[in-house]
Structure 1
């Protein structure tokens, strides 16, 4: 099933670039700091059959992870899965907030050299592959 994803980048007061991604009349915000770090709002679904990006929701990027939500196993699996999906090293992905919640804020370090445009392209490809 293919979905159209539209992106609009706008600067806000704090010097961040905010991108609104729209799909099925729902929006998700992605932020890029001036330093080049990308922040992703993510909604995790642990104990799934396989690892996959299941779409965009009002909570953020929806990701199903096969690992259980115990002792950080799902968090590690999320970071590894997102890193492999985006083609960056796993050390560049960290969970900034929400380590014990399904709603998380992931940080992609500027060291990953992943621009917002590259992120969008890789995200589209991952969503369309599902």
Structure 2
């Protein structure tokens, strides 16, 4: 085998190992380009390394948790003055708009405030 034929076989062999390493790495969640170069430059060793590398840890993004509870206008203690009811209603509406209250909770609190008028 002459030098050119050897280089052609070595080149295509390296591409085959690089492609196989990229496929194995990608299937395991590892960057395919990194695995490709491992297989390209290190041949069978790169293929084995791509097969045994641990998958990267998945970073967990913080999820939108429950809205922290806000202090609701008290309707159980002393009855509010007539002037306080509109302020309490606007606070309730603000809490509902921010997602701290459901529509049902808002309607219930609103009804109890309006009964006190």
Structure with higher strand content? 1
Q: Normalized against structure 2, the TM-score is what?
A: 0.24
Structure showing greater radius of gyration is: 2
Structure with higher helix content? 2
Higher relative contact order at CA 8 Å, sep ≥6: structure 1 or structure 2?
1
Q: Normalized against structure 1, the TM-score is what?
A: 0.23
